[in-house]
Amino acid sequence: MAEYAADLQRQGVTLGLVPTMGYLHEGHLSLVRLLEGRCDLKAASIFVNPIQFGQDEDLGRYPRDEERDLELLAEAGCGLVFCPDAADMYPSGFRTSVEVDTLSQPMCGRFRPGHFSGVATVVLKLFNLTRCSVAAFGLKDYQQAQILRRMVEDLNLPVELLFGETIREQDGLALSTRNAYLSPRERETAQAVPKALEWARRRASEDIRDCTELSRGISSILTSRPEVRVQYVELVDPESLEPRNQVGERVLVAVAAFVGTTRLIDNLIVGPGSTMKPIHGVNV
Ligand code: AMP
């Protein structure tokens, strides 16, 4: 990959990258389309990155279907797919990691120690290996997006970042590879997540300014289903990710919840200054 990328660079061919962990869905493909007109060669990587998984997480059972992924990427106009092995990415002497301070601490960082360091490290390696000039990420993983934006700025990386809106199912559930773990019953229950966010969006634009009240309302919608276990509901500043007490301008509402054993995350920016449209398909 490194040699090929060097060749491309010598020929003046610019590369755009969508890093993924595979088992692709429309959310991933929307990011490939976001690269249109931004580079000469659209590329994706498929790599289930072991260092971003915790000990008790789902690395061993993470879904994979490389053949189907390659077909979908080709259809979406990807001219190159990079699928490295873990042993090549992390040979035995590997010792370096990238830590993006502060932004990595709240929200998912509280429950997944080491996760964002694993993400930042692999993304920097993928940027270096592919020499991409532009890369696209989804706002579904909002905290990840902010962390990577910080890393690019702090380390002066010559990569332009693009961010894609969250792509959702008909009933509002954010597309995620992990949705494949849900049983039909759990899948129905999972509707509570977009429903709680849409409730918060509406109430924040109408009458509720108090973040504690919004947070309580979100939690009670989520826990109205017995199979849902809330990990966090946070209302934070969309840039600094610091907690907010009041909905002034825009506030990021981020939730993580287990439905059965499947961990789902989702988020929405709410408040009078937000231009966020209602989540399509959700009735509150
Ligand atoms: P993953 O394969 O889960 O690591 O995701 C690869 C990229 O796709 C990340 O930038 C994610 O934020 C993005 N992504 C995942 N789900 C969605 C979605 N529903 N809508 C938009 N982007 C997504």
Which segment of 11-20, 150-159, 200-209 scores lowest on mean pLDDT?
200-209
Q: Which amino acid is at 220?
A: S
CB of 142 shorter than 6 A to ligand 1: no
Tell me the mean pLDDT in the region 163-175.
97
Q: Look at the alpha carbons of 71, 138, 218, 277 in this order and tell me if their dihedral is positive or negative.
A: negative
Residue 105: predicted pLDDT? 96
The CA distance from 217 to 211, in Å, is: 10
CB of 172 shorter than 6 A to ligand 1: no
Residue 273: predicted pLDDT? 63
Helix ranges (DSSP H) in 35-92 = 66-75, 86-89
The CA distance from 95 to 83, in Å, is: 22
Residue 251: predicted pLDDT? 96
To the nearest whole number, what is the mean pLDDT of the chain?
Answer: 96
Distances (CA, A) of 271 to 121, 215, 267, 282: 34, 14, 13, 18
Contact 118, 53 (CB under 8 A): yes
Quick one: how far is CA 156 from the chain centroid? Answer: 22
Q: What digits encode the pLDDT tens for the residues 232-271?
A: 999 999 999 999 999 988 999 999 999 999 999 999 999 8
What's the pLDDT band for 272 if we cut at 50, 70, 90? confident
What's the pLDDT band for 281 if we cut at 50, 70, 90? confident
* pLDDT beyond 70 at 58: yes
Contacts with 134 (C-beta within 8 Å, 6 or more apart), sequence order = 14, 16, 17, 35, 38, 39, 159, 160, 161, 162
Contact 214, 221 (CB under 8 A): no
Domain boundaries, the chain: 2-164, 177-270
CB of 31 shorter than 6 A to ligand 1: yes
Sheet holding 160-164, edge to edge: 80-82, 41-46, 15-20, 134-138, 160-164
What's the pLDDT band for 124 if we cut at 50, 70, 90? very high
Q: Beta-carbon neighbour count of residue 219 at 10 Å?
A: 17
Distances (CA, A) of 251 to 24, 173, 216, 235: 30, 20, 16, 6
Q: What digits encode the pLDDT tens for the residues 173-203?
A: 999 999 999 999 999 999 999 999 999 999 9
CA 44 to ligand 1 centroid distance, Å: 12
Residue 284: predicted pLDDT? 81
What's the pLDDT band for 277 if we cut at 50, 70, 90? confident
Tell me the mean pLDDT in the region 206-235.
96
Do 177-270 and 2-164 have the same topology in CATH?
no
Q: Which amino acid is at 158?
A: P
* pLDDT beyond 70 at 118: yes
CA nearest neighbour of 163 among 172, 152, 171, 155? 152
The CA distance from 232 to 152, in Å, is: 28
19 CA: nearest ligand 1 atom: 6
* pLDDT beyond 80 at 275: no
CB of 169 shorter than 6 A to ligand 1: no
What CATH number is given for 2-164 in this structure?
A: 3.40.50.620
Fold of 177-270: Pantoate--beta-alanine Ligase; Chain: A,domain 2 (3.30.1300)
